[in-house]
Structure 1
Amino acid sequence: MSETHATVAPDTPVFPPGRYGRRREPGRRRPLLLALVVAVVLALLGLGAAKLYTQYGDPTYQGEMISYTGITDSRVVVDFRVTVPPGGSATCLLRARSHDGAEVGHVEATVSAEPGQRHVRSRQEVPTSARPFIGEVLRCRPAG
């Protein structure tokens, strides 16, 4: 028959004394402290990411379509505007598509802004392999 004490609950196991070491008391949980530490760490990581993006991130190179004219069987002339960092330059990909949506021509155009200016307006001819229906600016990126 096993030994039971009056102070021990009936469903609690009784271990032989000294055999398994000292049992720890359950610690107090501190969910508020844990949430505060997580919030501080996330805020610091966010600030670090914002600083690095500001320092090393790509500035915006935005190409805007103004018009397309001069459509013939072998070309289209695209007028476009590019927003670059002040005095910067960009390489833009222009393309021409036929009436059924197929690409019939593309060209890369490099444009440069005057010192202190952020916008460049340019006109570029896009040679095509068939009659184009539309000319467009696909994307602009830093020149180089």
Structure 2
Amino acid sequence: MTETHATITSGAPVFPPGRYGRRREPARRRPALVALLAVALVAALGVAAFSEYNKYGDPDYDAQVITYTDITDSQVVVDFRVTVPAGGSAICALRARSHDGAELAREEVTVTAPAGESQVTARHRLTTSARPFIGEVVRCRPAG
């Protein structure tokens, strides 16, 4: 008969020797390395976002539709306001869509602000292939 011990001095379980193979040591944690990698990832994403915003996001060229009127079976007139750098020009893409969202017309219009002014109001008539539901400014970008 073998003797069993009623108390185990350490908190680790006791396994019979040779039965379950060699026990692995717990992995060493490296919180400083994980934190450093997280900071590097956030910095890289920040640089990428800033670069893409500078390339594609241009807050100097902002357009607002004031109204769209004179809707017939073949046209819509769009009145819009564009914010540009003082005395600058912009090329704005306008489009007309039907009630179901289909694009009926698309045109690019160049608008130029008077010297010293940063806003220009323009009116443009889009000739459509069917009766439009809405006229809108898709985007504006620097001219040239």
More displaced 10-residue stretch of structure 1: 58-67 or 108-117: 58-67
Structure 1: distance between partners of 2:56 and 2:81? 22
Aligned-residue sequence identity (percent) comes to 62
Structure 1: distance between partners of 2:94 and 2:83? 15
Task: Detail structure 1 runs of 4+ shifted over 4 Å in the superposition.
Answer: 56-59
For 1:109, the equivalent position in structure 2 comes to 109
Instruction: Specify every segment of 5 or more residues in structure 1 that has no aligned partner in the other structure, as ranges.
Output: 1-51
Per-residue deviation, 1:142 = 0.4
Structure 1: distance between partners of 2:70 and 2:101? 19
Structure 2: distance between partners of 1:132 and 1:57? 29
Q: Tell me how large the CA RMSD over aligned residues is.
A: 3.6
Instruction: Specify every segment of 5 or more residues in structure 2 that has no aligned partner in the other structure, as ranges.
Output: 1-50
* Residues 89, 58 of structure 1: alpha-carbon distance in 2 compared, 3 angstrom cutoff: farther
Structure 1: distance between partners of 2:56 and 2:72? 41
State TM-score, norm by structure 1.
Answer: 0.61
Per-residue deviation, 1:73 = 0.6
Deviations 1:57-92 (A, max 9, x none): 975300101000010111100000000000000000
Count of aligned residue pairs for this structure pair: 126
C-alpha contact (below 8 Å) 1:59/1:85 kept by paired residues: no
Structure 1: distance between partners of 2:58 and 2:71? 33
- Confirm whether residue 71 of structure 1 aligns to residue 75 of structure 2: no
State TM-score, norm by structure 2.
Answer: 0.61
